[in-house]
Amino acid sequence: MPIVRSKLADVKRTAALALLCLAVALPPASDGRAEELAGPAETALKALLANSAVAKALEQIKADDARTLAEQRRITEIAAPPFKEHTRAEFYLQRFHELGLDDAALDSEGNVVALRKGSGKGPKLVVSAHLDTVFPENTDVTVREADGVLRAPGIGDDARGLAALLAVIQTLNANAITTTGDVMLVGTVGEEELGNLRGVKALFRDHRDIDGFISIDGLGITRVVNRATGSLRYEMIFRGPGGHSFQEFGLPSAIHAMGRAIAGIADLETPAEPKTTFTVGTVRGGTSVNAIAGEAHMTVDLRSNATEELLKLKARVLALVSEAAAEENKRWGSDRITVETNLIGERPAGVVAEDSPLVEAARRSAAAIARGPHVVFAGASTDSNLAMSLGIPAVTIGGGGEGGNWHSLNEWYKPTDAYLGPQNALLTLLMLVGMEGVSAPVLPRRAAR
């Protein structure tokens, strides 16, 4: 406990210096908005860091670090495969109720949703983490620990975010912190894989008065995601006549056609900035080693931080697939290879300006909590994509700690300074919605509600 008090004192002593460093580091904006917006954010941060209730809340989060990690382990071991998140959602709903969110409920899509009302006419902010994982049913999700490292599928993505969100709720209620604006707390479904953001799509469909959105997803707190990486996902089905590999040699092959397409896609070149990527993720087809394949399937993932580049990549890939079928037919003097292309996933791209109030608050909070390191802006595909595409300011922030091997059975997590994640989420939240009697909201209310 003495260590906790000492470090919190350090935070308060160095807050002014951190803010000064941030003011110097802010990139100039041609329209002067960076200077205009620095005032409210800086004022709010100073007031919050100087407040005894906030200091106590930050201290409590650190003191509860082990409990939050235990919560993370427990969540990890509740399987949440794509489209089958219900068991984890029920557990999360129970935890919401236990933490005092009496109105918490499952919505029509399966999200866990609760509203913590503010005291006045402030903005409405969503703070969320996603319930689902990429792993299929029957995956062993037992957490194993060795040398301070925890390993299990989904231990970081996004069990850490879910645990960090619970830590924030616990701290707000335990310290009776009253916000000016409303805070909607959400565990979302459908963030991963072919879930196609179905959870947040339902959330924004049903709640038209949301002014800002935060997703806790990822780990390190000095990385602020303010760009939404757009994606398009396709399934391509190649079909042909099929036949015996020897007796009917000379017929076109669905697998050969697909192979031509894969080779063409693999040779594509895409810009490094805006980052634009592609991959053929899965392939299957054929019936036997000695049969000319009559059918073959592949799935393709295309991504970019810019809509224009994503659409260019889409056009090139679809053309290559059609050309591959034509080439296979030409090789054998046939017209029997066909290809069917189905869009199976779409995530919009978007961006929130670095000098926007929400991004500014996230940046300043992270720098203050982490004591001054440079905050990196990044692009990623998260629940925030949907909000950004609707013109609603949004960021994705980390839940704290270190980790790697995402989306693999060997995913790992190390709780190094893990408490910084929920501390940062709490401080960002309070800056945005305001704390009654302490600071005004930094997040503006949207005109159309």
pLDDT value for 374: 85
For 122, how many CA atoms within 13 A lie in the half-sphere containing its CB? 28
Q: Which of 293, 316, 347 marks a domain boundary?
A: 347
Query: What residues make up the domain containing 215?
Result: 2-228+349-433
User: 84 Cβ partners below 8 Å, 6+ apart?
Assistant: 137
The closest of 118, 169, 125 to 394, measured between CA atoms, is 125
Residues 420 and 319 in one domain: no
Do 362 and 397 touch, CB atoms closer than 8 A?
yes
Shared-domain flag, residues 338 and 384:
no
pLDDT tens by residue, 73-128 = 999 999 999 999 999 999 999 999 999 999 999 999 999 999 999 998 899 999 99
If asked whether residues 139 and 253 sit together in one domain, one would say: no
pLDDT at residue 221, rounded to an integer: 95
Euclidean distance between CA atoms 297 and 353, whole angstroms: 40
Taking alpha carbons only, the member of 72, 74, 110, 70 closest to residue 89 is 110
Judge contact between 331 and 250, C-beta under 8 A.
no
CB 249 within 8 A of CB 272: no
Q: Indicate the Cα dihedral angle 400, 220, 89, 405, nearest 10°.
A: -110
Position 19 scores a pLDDT of: 37
- Could you tell me if 176 and 105 lie in one domain? yes
- Give the up-direction half-sphere exposure of residue 158: CA atoms within 13 A in the CB hemisphere: 32
Q: For position 56, what pLDDT does the model report?
A: 97
Position 439 in a domain: no
User: Could you tell me the two tokens for 399?
Assistant: 């839940």
Same domain for 201 and 81 = yes
Helix, strand and coil in the chain, % to nearest 5: 40, 25, 35
Give the pLDDT score at 188. Answer: 98
pLDDT at 372: 77
pTM, two decimal places? 0.86
Prior bond of 158 cis (ω within 30°): yes
Collapsing DSSP to helix, strand or coil, 245 comes out as coil
Asked if residue 370 belongs to a domain, the reply is: yes
The total number of structural domains that make up the chain: 2
C-beta of residue 302 within 8 angstroms of C-beta of residue 317: yes
Q: What is the predicted pLDDT for the residue at 15?
A: 41
- Which residues are bridge partners to 302 per DSSP? 232, 278
Residue % of the chain over a pLDDT of 90? 88
User: Based on the domain organization, do 386 and 308 belong to the same domain?
Assistant: no
- Residue pair 338/257 in contact by the 8 Å Cβ criterion: no
132, 133, 128: which is closest to 203 by C-alpha? 128
Residue 441 structure tokens: 């909201």
* CATH value at residue 253: 3.30.70.360
Own/partner pairs, 320-324, CB within 8 angstroms, 24+ separation: 320/261, 320/264, 320/265, 320/268, 321/236, 321/261, 323/260, 323/261, 323/264, 324/257, 324/258, 324/260, 324/261, 324/264
Interatomic CA distance for residues 73 and 86, integer angstroms: 18
Answer yes or no: do 221 and 368 share one domain.
Answer: yes
pLDDT score, position 10: 40
Q: What is the DSSP secondary-structure string of 416-442? A: TTTTHHHHHHHHHHHHHH-BTTTB--S
Asked if residue 356 is part of any domain, the answer here is yes
Are 279 and 179 within one domain? Answer: no
3-state secondary structure at position 336: coil
CA distances to 266, 276, 297, 327, 341 from 322, rounded to whole Å, are: 15, 22, 14, 9, 10
For residues 140 and 134, give the distance between their C-alpha atoms in angstroms, rounded to a whole number: 13
Q: Same domain, yes or no, for 328 and 201?
A: no
Would you write out the chain's pLDDT as a tens digit for each of its 449 residues? 332 333 333 433 334 333 333 333 333 333 344 444 458 999 999 999 999 999 999 999 999 999 999 999 999 999 999 999 999 999 999 999 999 999 999 999 999 999 999 998 899 999 999 999 999 999 999 999 999 999 999 999 999 999 999 999 999 999 999 999 999 999 999 999 889 999 999 999 999 999 999 999 999 999 999 999 999 999 999 999 999 999 999 999 999 999 999 999 999 999 999 999 999 999 999 999 999 999 999 999 999 999 999 999 999 999 999 999 999 999 999 999 999 999 999 999 999 999 999 999 999 999 999 987 789 999 999 999 999 999 999 999 999 999 999 999 999 999 999 999 999 999 999 999 999 999 999 999 987 55
Residues 86 and 129 in one domain: yes
- CA–CA distance, 31 with 144 (Å, rounded to integer): 52
